Amino acid sequence: MGKFQAFAKKLFDKTFWKFILVGVVNTLFGTAIMFLFYNLLHLSYWLSSASNYFFGSILSYFLNKYFTFQNKSRSWKTVLRFAVNIAACYLVAYGLARPLIRLLMRGCAQSLTDNVAMVLGMCIFVALNYLSQRFLTFRERPEERPASKNRPLTNRTGCGLIFIKFIDQKDDDGNLLLRSVSESRRAVRAGTGADCILIPESVL
């Protein structure tokens, strides 16, 4: 139960409510486009709902990247992940909503069932989109962070490292008399051995 509560607390933190706020703005914008296209321009179910996410996703990308998740990555990989995420969530959400509503509202007019299906599709999309954006799309990766001139030597986990080398003084019989330590902040490509170690700078 403790792990579940910790996960739920993380899932519904301040970031979640910022996502909801952005979602409200984006939903009003996208929904207006979707129903306008379907009911006034008489475009198809798929074209109308796709227009919602085409135009809404442009607004959503910038609001969620810089406001909700405060992602600092400048890599095109983030844009690609966002586009793939939106497409996947859209196809799953609306692909499930339409046949489900048609089954539940059998005998009703197609225009009515399609409108209800679009509302259900939006609900499914929001849930899928939040989870995937938070834990996949905008999860900051060390290799995609902006370069910093003052960044210390780092390993793959992003921790500062100091190279520690032991210097031993021995007598003629090989007995250890004194062990001293030298340190270097220069990059070390050689692997660690018995006479040297790499330790995180943060622990010193």
What was the pLDDT predicted at 204?
43
75: left (phi over 0), alpha (psi -120 to 50) or beta: beta
Residue 122 to residue 45: CA distance in whole angstroms:
13
Residue 153 to residue 104: CA distance in whole angstroms:
60
What residues have CB less than 8 Å from 132, skipping those under 6 apart?
A: 85, 88, 89
- Judge whether 192 and 164 are in contact, CB under 8 Å: no
Q: What is the mean pLDDT of each run of 10 residues along the chain (204 residues)?
A: 64 79 86 92 90 85 83 78 89 94 93 92 88 79 52 44 58 64 45 46 44
Residue 202 to residue 52: CA distance in whole angstroms:
48
Decide: pTM greater than 0.85: no
CA distances 103 to 47, 98, 106, 135, Å, are: 22, 9, 5, 33
Amino acid letter at 86? Answer: I
What was the pLDDT predicted at 130?
84
**Alpha-helix residue ranges (DSSP H) falling in the chain:** 2-11, 14-39, 45-63, 76-104, 110-132
CA distances 201 to 79, 80, 167, 196, Å, are: 34, 35, 20, 15
- Judge whether 31 and 150 are in contact, CB under 8 Å: no
- Judge whether 66 and 97 are in contact, CB under 8 Å: no
What was the pLDDT predicted at 154?
44
What residues have CB less than 8 Å from 144, skipping those under 6 apart?
A: 73, 74, 75, 77, 78
- DSSP class of residue 158? -
